[in-house]
Every structure is written in C-alpha cells, then in structure tokens.
C-alpha cells in the first residue's frame, strides 16, 4: 500500500521531470530520476510519472538508462497501455551501436511481465542470439527461457531449440552455461536438456574456461551422461580428477558426486575419490561462513553413513566453538557420536561433558542425549558422567539424564542396577512432561528394584488433578498397574484411587479409555494382567551394540550436493529413524496390551525389531483421499470381539500399540465398521474393519482390508500381527463390566 503523501510527491517530481531547465542539465535530471527510484523503493506510488520516465530513456547516459529501465519494469504490470509505448524505445535501443545498450535494452524488454509482450520481444531475442557481442548473446539466450516462461502453454519452437543447442559451442563460456539453463527451462516438459556424447565431451573440455558457478552447473548437467565403455569412463574420470581438489566447495562437491556416480561399478575408485575429497569437506566444515560450515557438516554425515571411520582421525575438527550457533553445534555432536571408537572415547566424552552444562538448555540436553547414545557401547564410562550430572539439581539436566537412563535401561539391561540406584530422589527436579514420562516408566518397569517407587508414584497420583499432560497420565496408569503386579500390598490403595479418578472424572478420552482397559484387565485376574502387561523391559537388539550396517553409497549419493541433507527431518529419516534434536533418541516401545508380544514375535525371526508410529498424524480428510486412491494390499479374516464390546476398549488397546482409530460405528450397529491408520518402516498403513453378523459366517468374524503406500511386505505383516494381538486381547477382556 503506498504511503500517504504519494500524490503530492509525484506531482512535484512530475513538474521537475517536465522542466526544460532540468532536462538541459544532465546531472540535475539524473538526480530527479534517482529521487523517483528512491521513493519507488520506499513504497510511494510513482506510477503517474510513467510517460515522463519513458521520455527520459532517450539518452546516451548508460546510468540514466538503467534507472529508467528499472522503473519501467517495476510499473509495467500496473500501466500495460503505457508500457507498450516504451516498447518502441526498447526495440530501438536493441539496435544501438553500443553492445552494453543493446544488452541492457534486451534484458529489460524480456523482464516486462505483461500480456502480449512475446510478439514484440521474439525478433529482438532471435537477433540477439546472432549478435557479435558476447554480452548480448548471454542476455538473448536467457531471454529464450523468459519467453517460454511468459507463455508456458505455447508450442516449443524447434528452431529456437536447435539454435540453443548449436550455441553450446559458443566461444564465450558464459553463453554456453546460459544455453544449458535456457534449454532446461524450455524443455522441462520433455525432461530437460539432453546430454549426449559430443555435448558431454565438449562440456568436459571447456570446464577449465568456466568460473566456479559455471563449473558447478556443468558438472550437475553431466550427471545425465553415462559413458559407453570402460575406456571412455576412465578418460572422463581423468578429466574430472583435478577438480576433486578444487578450492571452491561447490565445485568439489559437484565433482565428487559425479565421480562417485560414474564409478559406481568400481568401489576402489569410489573409495579413492572419497579419500581425496576428505580434505576439502573438512575445510568446508571449518569455513568462515556459517552457512557453508553447516552444509559441509551435513554432507560429512552422509559420507559417514557408508564409511563410519572415514573421518575418525579428524574427530577434533568437530569439537564445538563457543561462538558457533546452536544448529552447528547440534550437527557436530551428532557427528562426534558417529566417530567414537576405543582410542578417542575418553576425549570425546570429556568434550561432551563440558557441553552438558551449557547455558542453553536445548544444547545441554542434546549433549546429554549424545552421551547416552555413546553409553550404549561404553556404558560404564557414560553412567559415571550421567550420574554426576544429577548432582547439579537443574530441571532440564535432570530431565534429560532420566530420559537417557530410560533409553540405556531399555537397550543395555546391564545398566539397570546402577540406573535404579541413581534415579532415587530425582522426582523433585523434573518439571517437563518428557522427563516425567521417563521417570514413571522406570518406576513401573523396574519398581521391584527401586524401594521408593510406590511412594513416588503416589505423589504423582495425589497431584493428578494439576497434571496438564495426558501422556503423563497415561504413562502413570500403565506404570501403576505394572508396579501393582510386582508390589501389590504397597500399591493397591493408590491404584484404586487412580482408576476411580481416571474413569469417573477424567475428561481426556484417551486417558479414560486406558483406565477402562486396565480395570477390565485386572478383572480378568493378576496372571492374565501380568501376561499382557508383563512384556520385556529391555531389548538390546534395538541398540547400536550389535553395530549398524553400513549403508551403500547408492542410498545417499542421489541427494549428495543437494538441499536434502540440510533438512534435519529428511536426514533423520534417511538414517533410518535417527533421533531428532534435542529430544531423547531411543524411546522404548509403548507398554500395555500386546506391546511385549509384538516386539517379541517380530524379533524372533532374527530380523530388525518392528514398531509402529502415529507420526505424522493423518487427518480424516487425508485418510479418505488416500483410501479412495489406493488399491487393497491385503484382505483377511480376524477374530471378532463380541457385539456388545464398547468401542472405547478397542480404541484404548489400539492407542497402546500406536494405531490411530479415526472412526467407529456405534455399538450394536450392523454392519459395524472401524477405520484405522498408522506408519511402519516408512510405509503408510490404512485399514478397514467390518463386522456383519448377518453374513453367512459362524461365528461371525471381522473382515480386514489393508491399503499401504509405499508397498512393504514386512510392514504389512507386522501391522496385521499387531492388530491380531490387540483383537485377541480385547476379545478376552470383553466380558468385564464397567466399575
């Protein structure tokens, strides 16, 4: 919106531009034009001066022409009729003897974003392609792409495409690179520019003539070419060899990516290329520019996924500096965890221990989680550091340490005695919900080893009305029931009060449903409850103790030297579910109905443990879109809960195993339906359950239909196994009544 006072200012400037005395004085005239541009950039509406500014373009002063052209391009969309009057001036300047004027006029003519402009600029652009001045040819080549952008639905002019292909051999290297960019834009609907053998060899031979930006661009286009035989392959690699040591990080990264892709069938050559690229990558990680430093760290993480020890000797390069921003420190700590070995573990832990007391709570927690991840392999060293941090009595530090203890106990059972001794008395220093959940889980799963466990849980139960987090209340329910099964005399009274409150007074339906399920499970007897809730309290197979298999280069090479490694979410997903910073990394699977059986059944075959997750959450509208688009992957009959089973029982059980129930039919409805969704191994799983007692089945069962994207047989089988276990549990507890 223009500022107030624009009209008066515009009238004053219009009088000055029309004044013959001002026009006769070149310096005064230019100063008035400068004022117009200044006010235009400040938001004042200078469009009433369009005619006067067009007249001002008739000059031999290059600076004045640039200013006027900038004005005309800015207001061409608001004054299309007047902008057409400027076309003649621009076309005339396109034939000026001065190549700077020709190029300037052609560039600004192509920047006039207005309907019907293409027919006016087409001929000047074609003339510019054959101009003797390289500057004009550079502008004209890009003008071809701008014309295509102005009319995206227009038919591609074959003559222009052929002309651009022929100009790839232009003597000016910038014209050659601009031709590649223009062809990519013009032919984007057909897959972009085609790189055949003559073009590829010509581009390789011209690399030394280009600047760093041009080299990066050409190397990216060369990814589309595949040598025909071994001799040609090694000729190309020899030409690229010198660029692996380029001082420009962009050229080095582009060369390394192309080198690795071309040498895909020669692992020794790839290893040698990565070794030669180690120095430039480390230089990028210590660059003065923070942005370049962050990009270098992200690409180092990619290389470490295939070669964990590639940078082990240079681990000190990834120690954090006090002046670095947090996002760089987070990345460096993640890399340090990857580089730990028997030789450097004391120094790395000493460095991370210093970060654990940083003034930034997020950074301190991230350092504690990093120590915890190292503790999965070097548990004795790390337990001493973590236990010492509890003595600081800082809320955020204690919370992070308890979360790390929870992970260590789950992944390293030998740590349980030390952890159970250390967590005693921590409840007073934990205020956030994540820390409370971790402590409550420890008290429930290992309450038989913590003497004060019933009394700590009782304090949480007494303050339940002031607890804001539903997740904490749900964890408290499960932990109290598990502790009751281990120490019934001390826990019976507070468990009754907890169930009564959560069933009769709780407003959150997820908490209420879990309380109902726990109550009905206890009604079936202690042995049945112990069988369902007594799942494993640890699973070492999920940790890094057994080692992480090295990922092949093909897994990350397509994303090397792109923006994807710079995304934390994408990088974490590519690493197979690595931890988000600064949250705790290896949360144990949800405890409750069927949780123990699910992990055990899936791990029994010797494969990787299977688990489900609700992230990202799917809305009902998105579920419907996916459901209508996808084809069924599986149709199967499952055991059916009785017709009188309340939906909340099934919903609570599904919630425990990370399956979202989007919709249920009313109890007793025929046919009865339920729609479910979850994620497993990166696959979206959608399910429909249908029960029809009118169908010819005795006894009636549930018909399960599953759709998934992308297809994954292991995820599909794991999901069906989890769902079958949940339905069997609900079927066994269905006769219980509400208290």
Q: Where are the domains of the chain?
A: 6-210, 453-524, 595-733
* pLDDT recorded at residue 729: 67
How many C-beta neighbours within 10 Å does residue 192 have?
15
In the block, tokens 């006072």 appear at: 5
Handedness of CA 152, 157, 162, 164 (dihedral sign): negative
Q: What CATH number labels 6-210?
A: 1.25.10.10
Whether 702 contacts 627, CB under 8 Å: no
| Closest listed residue to residue 250, CA positions, set 210, 295, 316 | 295
Tokens 């075959």 belong to residue: 605
Residue 334: the pLDDT is 92
- Reply yes or no on domain 595-733 having CATH 3.30.310.10: yes
Residue 723 tokens read as: 């769902």
Give CA separation, 221 vs 133, 174, 184, 228, 246, in Å. Answer: 26, 15, 10, 17, 18
Contact 187, 193 (CB under 8 A): yes
Residues 519 and 182: their CA atoms lie apart, in Å, by: 69
Residues contacting 654, CB < 8 A, separation 6+: 660, 661, 676, 726
For residue 458, the number of C-alpha atoms closer than 13 Å in the C-beta half-sphere is 11
CB count in 10 Å sphere of residue 490: 16
> Do the Cβ atoms of 109 and 145 come closer than 8 Å?
no
Q: How far apart are CA 571 and CA 727, in angstroms?
A: 36
Q: How high is the pLDDT of residue 96? A: 86
Task: Please state, in angstroms and rounded to a whole number, the distance separating the CA atoms of residues 355 and 368.
Answer: 8
Show the CA angle centred on residue 292, arms to residues 289 and 297, nearest 5°.
Answer: 125
Mean pLDDT by 10 residues, the chain (739 residues): 64 89 88 91 85 85 88 81 77 88 89 78 90 93 89 84 93 94 90 92 93 94 92 92 88 93 90 90 91 92 87 92 92 93 93 94 95 90 92 92 92 88 87 93 90 91 89 93 91 93 91 92 89 74 50 80 70 39 39 37 42 76 82 80 56 76 73 83 85 55 84 82 75 46
Instruction: Give the residues across from 683 on adjacent strands.
Output: 680
Q: Report d(CA 367, CA 383) in Å as an integer.
A: 14
Distance in angstroms between the alpha carbons of the first and the last residue of the chain:
65
pLDDT (0 to 100) of residue 86: 76
Q: How far apart are CA 192 and CA 190, in angstroms?
A: 6
What are the φ and ψ backbone dihedral angles of 348, each rounded to 5 degrees? -65, -45
The 3-state DSSP composition of the chain as helix, strand, coil percent (nearest 5) reads 65, 5, 30
pLDDT score recorded for residue 694 = 54
CA-to-CA distance for 655 and 613, rounded, in angstroms? Answer: 10
499: its two tokens: 């169930």
> Can you state the angle between helices 249-262 and 278-285, rounded to 10 degrees?
140
SS3 599: helix
Number of helices and strands (H, E) in the chain? 36, 6
- Cα separation values, 558 from 121, 233, 263, 564, 581, Å: 39, 19, 14, 10, 25
For every residue of 286-355, DSSP letters joined together read T-SSHHHHHHHHHHHHHHHHH-TTTTGGGGGGGSPPTTS-HHHHHHHHHHHHHH--TTTHHHHHHHHHHH
d(Cα 203, Cα 169) in Å, to the nearest integer? 9
| Residue 676 near residue 684, CB atoms below 8 Å | no
578: left (phi over 0), alpha (psi -120 to 50) or beta: beta
Among candidates 323, 358, 355, 322, which has minimal Cα distance to 336?
355
Distance CA 180, CA 217 (A): 9
Contact 668, 699 (CB under 8 A): no
Identify whether the C-beta of residue 171 lies closer than 8 Å to the C-beta of residue 209. Answer: no
Backbone phi, psi, residue 612, to 5° = -110, 160
Three-state DSSP class for residue 57: coil
């Amino acid at each position: 919106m223009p500022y107030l006072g624009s009209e008066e200012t515009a009238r004053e400037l219009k009088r000055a531009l029309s004044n013959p005395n001002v026009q006769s004085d070149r310096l005064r005239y230019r100063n008035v034009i400068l004022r117009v541009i200044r006010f235009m950039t400040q938001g004042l509406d200078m469009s009433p001066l369009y005619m006067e500014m067009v007249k001002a373009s008739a000059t031999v002063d290059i600076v004045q022409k640039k200013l006027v052209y900038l004005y005309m391009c800015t207001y061409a969309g608001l004054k299309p009729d007047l902008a057409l009057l400027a076309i003649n001036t621009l076309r005339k300047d396109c034939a000026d003897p001065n190549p700077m004027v020709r190029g300037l006029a052609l560039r600004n003519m192509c920047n006039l974003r207005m309907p019907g402009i293409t027919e006016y600029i087409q001929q000047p652009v074609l003339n510019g392609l054959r101009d003797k001045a390289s500057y004009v040819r550079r502008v004209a080549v890009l003008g071809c792409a701008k014309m295509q952008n102005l009319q995206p639905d227009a038919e591609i002019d074959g003559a222009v495409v052929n002309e651009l292909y022929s100009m790839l051999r232009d003597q000016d290297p910038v014209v050659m690179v601009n031709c590649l960019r223009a062809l990519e834009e013009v032919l984007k609907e057909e897959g972009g520019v085609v790189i055949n053998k003559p073009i590829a060899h010509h581009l390789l031979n011209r690399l030394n003539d280009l600047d760093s930006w041009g080299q990066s661009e050409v190397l990216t286009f060369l990814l589309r070419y595949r040598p025909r035989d071994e001799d040609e392959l090694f000729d190309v690699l020899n030409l690229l060899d010198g660029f692996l040591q380029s001082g420009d990080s962009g050229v080095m990264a582009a060369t390394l990516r192309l080198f690795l892709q071309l040498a895909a069938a020669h692992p020794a050559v790839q290893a040698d290329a990565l070794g030669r690229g180690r120095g430039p990558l480390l230089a990028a990680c210590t660059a003065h520019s923070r942005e370049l430093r962050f990009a270098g760290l992200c690409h180092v993480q990619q290389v470490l996924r295939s070669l964990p020890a590639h940078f082990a000797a240079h681990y000190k390069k990834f120690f954090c500096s006090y002046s670095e921003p947090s996002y760089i420190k987070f990345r460096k700590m993640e890399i340090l965890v990857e580089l730990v070995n028997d030789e450097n573990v004391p120094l790395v832990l000493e460095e991370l221990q210093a970060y654990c007391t940083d003034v930034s709570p997020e950074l301190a927690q991230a350092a504690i989680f990093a120590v915890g991840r190292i503790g999965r392999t070097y548990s004795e060293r790390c337990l001493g550091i973590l236990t010492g941090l509890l003595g600081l009595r800082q809320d955020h530090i204690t919370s992070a340490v308890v979360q790390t203890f929870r992970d260590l106990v789950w992944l390293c059972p030998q740590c349980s005695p030390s952890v159970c001794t250390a967590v005693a008395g921590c409840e007073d220093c934990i205020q956030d919900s994540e820390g409370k959940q971790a402590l409550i889980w420890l008290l429930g799963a290992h309450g038989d080893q913590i003497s004060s466990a019933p009394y700590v849980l009782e304090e949480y139960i007494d303050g339940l009305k002031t607890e804001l987090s539903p997740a904490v209340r749900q964890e408290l329910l499960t932990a109290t029931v598990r502790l009751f099964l281990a120490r019934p005399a001390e826990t019976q009274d507070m468990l009754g009060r907890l169930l009564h409150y959560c069933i009769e007074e709780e407003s959150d339906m997820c908490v209420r449903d879990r309380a109902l399920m726990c109550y009905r499970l206890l009604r079936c007897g202690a042995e049945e409850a112990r069988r369902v809730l007594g799942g494993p309290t640890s699973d070492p197979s999920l940790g890094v103790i057994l080692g992480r298999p090295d990922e092949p280069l093909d897994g990350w090479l397509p994303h090397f030297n792109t923006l994807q490694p710079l995304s934390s979410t994408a990088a974490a997903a590519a690493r197979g579910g690595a931890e988000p910073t600064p949250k705790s990394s290896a949360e144990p699977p949800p405890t409750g109905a069927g949780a123990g059986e699910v992990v055990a059944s899936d791990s029994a075959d010797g494969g990787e443990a299977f688990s489900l997750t609700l992230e990202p959450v799917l809305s009902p509208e998105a579920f419907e879109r996916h459901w209508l688009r996808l084809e069924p992957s599986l149709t199967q009959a499952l055991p059916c809960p009785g017709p009188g089973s309340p939906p909340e029982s099934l919903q609570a059980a599904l919630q425990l195993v990370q399956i979202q129930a989007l919709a249920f039919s009313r109890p007793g409805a025929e046919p009865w339906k339920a729609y479910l969704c979850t994620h497993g191994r990166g696959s979206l799983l959608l399910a429909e359950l249908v029960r029809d007692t009118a169908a010819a089945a005795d006894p009636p069962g549930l018909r399960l239909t599953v759709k998934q994207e992308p297809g994954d047989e292991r995820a599909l089988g794991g999901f069906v196994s989890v769902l079958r276990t949940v339905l069997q549990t609900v079927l066994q507890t269905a006769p219980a009544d509400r208290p």
